[in-house]
Amino acid sequence: MPKIQQFTEELLKRQVLYGPETQTLLQSAQRTIYKMENATGVGILTRYPVFTGIELLYNDIHMSDSVNQNKLPTPGLMEINHCRVGRFECEFPNGQTAYLGEGDLAVNMLTNATSGAWFPLAHYHGISIVVDLPAASRVLAQVAEAMGGMSFDLYSLQERLCADNTCFIMRSTESIKHIFSELYTAPSGLRSSYIKLKVLELFLFLNSEELFLQQEKRPYFNKEQVHTVKAIKAYLTEHLDRQITLGELSEKFDMPLTSMKLCFKGIYGSSISAYMHDYRMQYAAALLRQTTQSITEIAGQVGYANVSKFSAAFKLDKGATPLEYRRSFVQMEQNLSLGSGKE
């Protein structure tokens, strides 16, 4: 019989919560809230015990680099992750990197522990379910018997999804969306009981044939590709005033055009042009709120030589022209100031 792991604070912090430096903010029988922090931001994780050997965590991350960059392999632990918002990047010991995007589901054994983890969009909201296979199997066998012989075979799940110590990743489906949407919106007073039911539903789904009919292979990228594309993104955001073509980027960074486009979308979740358009609009909005620069100056800073084209693009994105956007922000500030003055 495999040895049963104990979900100690040390084990959870080392293997699941991105580092032993993670702080405990609140601890009770129902839940524990943790905080992790580094130079790139802050993350809050809320942990709920489900059954013996099964823990569920809500992840609310606003940082680009995780704290724990070298997890130790831990036999017998399975980690299931679902991404609600943002992107999650995992680098494995073999040098390959995988990405979890919005709605995606991943199942991984922690014998295949990540050597690095990042959040490319600097925010990530999702759920992690950590399963100690020996302990959880015993409890789920009792649950299955009480429910009339349902199958919650975790070892079969491991063999089907994580053969050869690989990480299983699949795109969002209606079934996954249904299970996890209700986990995110569970009423606080019923959350503990609700989590138990939804975790059982998830295990039933993962053991079903439907999973394999809906499965879609996700690409892995090697370390060199990832580093090159991150350098491309940095170069683009540092030269917002220029309209740089994909051909120029491919030549400058010595990366084939098709590989560059595929890898960029894999890391950041959108094409280069879509990502840069959104970045330009966000940056322009910040300049409109925080500076007194003219619309013409701001247009030039984000790569628009023609102010009319900038205004049209901004209105399409934000629902207001740059001038209207600035005026509405100034008006809001004045209203807030008047409101605080009355108090």
**Which of these ranges, 50-54, 115-119, 183-187, has the smallest mean pLDDT?**
115-119
Opening angle at CA 35, ends 29 and 40, nearest 5: 165
The full DSSP string for 256-294 is -HHHHHHHHHHHHSS-HHHHHHHHHHHHHHHHHHH----
Given a cut of 50, whether residue 333 has pLDDT beyond it is yes
State the pLDDT at residue 242: 95
DSSP string, 307-334: HHHHHHHHHHHHSS-HHHHHHHHHHHHH
Residues in the chain: 343
Q: CA 222, CA 246: separation in Å to the nearest integer? A: 21
Q: What is the pLDDT of residue 337?
A: 60
pLDDT on residue 91: 86
Q: What is the pLDDT of residues 78-99, one digit of tens each?
A: 999 999 999 999 888 778 888 9
Q: What share of the chain is helix, strand, coil (3-state, %, to 5)?
A: 50, 20, 30
pLDDT tens digits, one per residue of 66-79:
755 556 667 889 99
- How many angstroms separate the CA atoms of 288 and 89, rounded? 32
pLDDT at 342 exceeding the cut of 60: no
- Bigger pLDDT: 9 vs 245: 245
pLDDT in tens, 140-199: 999 988 887 777 889 999 998 888 878 888 888 888 898 999 899 888 778 888 899 999
- pLDDT score, position 2: 42
For residue 1, what pLDDT is reported?
A: 36
**Minimal CA–CA distance to 125: which of 160, 95, 162, 81?**
81
CA 302 vs CA 109, 142, 184, 289, 297: distances in Å: 44, 61, 37, 15, 9
Range 218-237 average pLDDT: 91
Q: What is the mean pLDDT of the chain?
A: 86
Tell me what pLDDT residue 17 has: 52
121-135: average pLDDT: 94
